[in-house]
């Protein structure tokens, strides 16, 4: 019987990013869905503004946390770095085939970092949340004139004689009609992309959670608890053990 061994894998920065991201996604999804159906329960303009303001403030935390993760991919431990979770490095396709074959036929190969399928999932999720963050910041400017783009949007749509700094949402008398219509046309693709990527992201998260649970059961390891403690406890020899022993960062 293979001996259980403990390995320190996920550093504090990676774990903090993960759980802050989870909380932000839950909050954004809840508030965003409420905004989407606000007209169904006759929400007032003031109510819509409050909902959008909460959504944007959570979005700022979400975007800053994502920015932190991108920086951490250069400075964190080896399992936090780009090369650890981006698919496509030399030998990746062979590793993917080997992992899938082992997973289907019996006990899967153990990885300390992300396994070959996990690398694809993590990369896709990062792309989707990046799209959410960027489009969300643009929409914050077009809806509420919030930073970082709100200053330029306000300059664009303010009616002659109206100080752009005084613009508030749902005040058409303060906007130049032609400029407002042009801005809303500009905004259209961003809101479409924001909503579409949200639905894809929700599907991706479901697949991610199901995949983690299945892998946890199949491996008999500590995949889930490791994201709390940073420590993976596994049986046998991990495929990427050499990387774990080859030193720090």
Distances (CA, A) of 94 to 100, 105, 121, 177: 10, 17, 18, 59
Number of structural domains in the chain: 1
User: Does 175 score more than 50 pLDDT?
Assistant: yes
Question: What's the domain range around 126?
Answer: 4-245
- Tell me if 121 sits within 8 A of 208, measured CB to CB: yes
220-243: pLDDT as tens digits? 667 888 999 999 888 777 887 764
What is the rounded average pLDDT of the residues 52-74? 97
Rounded Cα gap, residues 137 and 183, in angstroms: 15
Rounded Cα gap, residues 181 and 171, in angstroms: 14
How remote is the C-alpha of 182 from its chain's centroid? Answer: 30
- Tell me if 238 sits within 8 A of 246, measured CB to CB: no
132-157: pLDDT as tens digits? 999 999 999 999 999 999 999 999 99
- In CATH, what number is assigned to the domain containing residue 231? 1.20.950.20
- Average of per-residue pLDDT values in the chain: 90
Q: Helix, strand, or coil here: 233?
A: strand
> What pLDDT is attached to residue 2?
59
Rounded Cα gap, residues 190 and 158, in angstroms: 21
How remote is the C-alpha of 243 from its chain's centroid? Answer: 27
Q: Of 114, 42, 128, which is closest to residue 73 (Cα–Cα)?
A: 114
- Tell me if 94 sits within 8 A of 39, measured CB to CB: no
Q: Which backbone phi and psi does 149 adopt, to 5 degrees?
A: -105, -10
Cβ neighbours of residue 141 under 8 Å, at least 6 residues apart?
147, 148, 149, 150, 151, 152, 153
How remote is the C-alpha of 77 from its chain's centroid? Answer: 20
């Amino acid at each position: 019987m293979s001996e259980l061994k403990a390995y320190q894998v996920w550093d504090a920065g990676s774990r903090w990013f993960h759980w802050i991201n989870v909380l932000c996604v839950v909050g954004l999804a809840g508030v965003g869905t409420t905004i989407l159906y606000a007209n169904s329960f006759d929400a007032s303009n003031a109510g819509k503004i409050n909902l959008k303001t909460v959504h944007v403030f959570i979005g700022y935390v979400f975007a800053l946390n994502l920015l932190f993760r991108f920086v951490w991919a250069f400075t964190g431990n080896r399992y936090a770095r780009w090369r650890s979770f981006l698919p496509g490095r030399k030998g990746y396709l062979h590793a993917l085939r080997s992992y899938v074959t082992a997973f289907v036929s019996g006990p899967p190969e153990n990885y300390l970092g992300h396994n070959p399928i996990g690398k694809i999932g993590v990369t896709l999720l990062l792309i989707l949340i990046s799209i959410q963050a960027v489009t969300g910041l643009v929409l914050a400017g077009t809806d509420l004139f919030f930073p970082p783009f709100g200053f330029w949007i306000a300059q664009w749509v303010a009616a002659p004689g109206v100080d752009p700094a005084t613009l508030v949402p749902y005040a058409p008398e303060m906007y130049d009609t032609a400029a407002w219509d042009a801005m809303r046309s500009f905004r259209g693709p961003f809101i479409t992309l924001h909503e579409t990527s949200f639905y894809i992201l929700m599907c991706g998260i479901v697949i991610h959670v199901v995949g983690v649970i299945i892998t946890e059961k199949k491996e008999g390891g500590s995949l889930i608890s490791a994201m709390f403690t940073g420590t993976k406890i596994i049986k046998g020899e991990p495929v990427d053990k050499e990387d774990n022993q080859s030193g720090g960062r």
